[in-house]
A = this chain, B = another copy of it.
Amino acid sequence: MRAAVFDSGVGGLTVVKSLIDHNFFDEIIYFGDTARVPYGIKDKNTIVRYSLEALEFFKNFDPDILITACNSVSAHALKELRESASFPVVGVIEPGVIAAQKRLEKGDRILVIGTRATISSGQYQRLLRHQGFTNLISLPTPLFVPLVEEGILKGRIVEATMDHYFNGIEPDAIILGCTHFPLLSEALKGYFGEQTLLIHSGEAICDYLEQELGITPGRGTPELKLFASESPERLKEVASRWLSSDR
């Protein structure tokens, strides 16, 4: 099976890492729109337009499935991508909500964090409420994206930024609604305590592929092809760091 993975930049490699760890696919075609990153500060029309352009790119590879690793794309362009694709298109939001449903009680306090575009779409909130969760806080935390991009994953800036966003919030679980945020897992656990459950798009989508779509894991290591709209060498460099770290 050949999977296409679309992201606004390099962040979607956190999802690719999960896909590789589970060996779902024989081949993964990754495209990061690095020339126009970030999407999370842009509006719906722009995100839809860029996503449909990426779809045209992927069609050349005849994939069996398209996974939108980027939460901002999943929040705003999934319907349009599905209307234009002849293969299944899977976002990361529904899998994240299903993961919450399996691991949390309805009364648990859930904090959803993401880009401005993702949070303003209201998609996580709507789906979580539909599943009966009532104790929700959703927060755009846009500064986390450049912090991760700069490799600043702990220390005073991160702590001050968490205080800025999270003052007084005590969640039972956090949905990491942006591909960059798993890299802040340690800092978030340090801030909220080890007991706080973190829901990670990469892990959530792997469960979804297996349990909802019946795709079986455990093939050989997939062949990974990396494309970017600028600086593909930077994407490859990040991939070699992120994907190899604990393999």
Contacts and interface: CB of A to CB of B under 8 A. Distances in A.
A122 B46 CA distance: 33
B230 A149 contact: no
A205 to B, nearest CB: 27
B35 A42 contact: yes
A215 interface: no
Contacts of A152: 143, 164
A50 to B, nearest CB: 8
Interface residues on A, range: 20 to 34
A154 to B, nearest CB: 12
Interface in A161-216: 161, 163-164
A231 interface: yes
Interface string A140-155: 0011011101101001
A45 B150 contact: no
Contacts of A231: 42-43
The 4 closest A-B pairs by CB, nearest first: A156-B160, A157-B160, A46-B230, A146-B146
A38 to B, nearest CB: 8
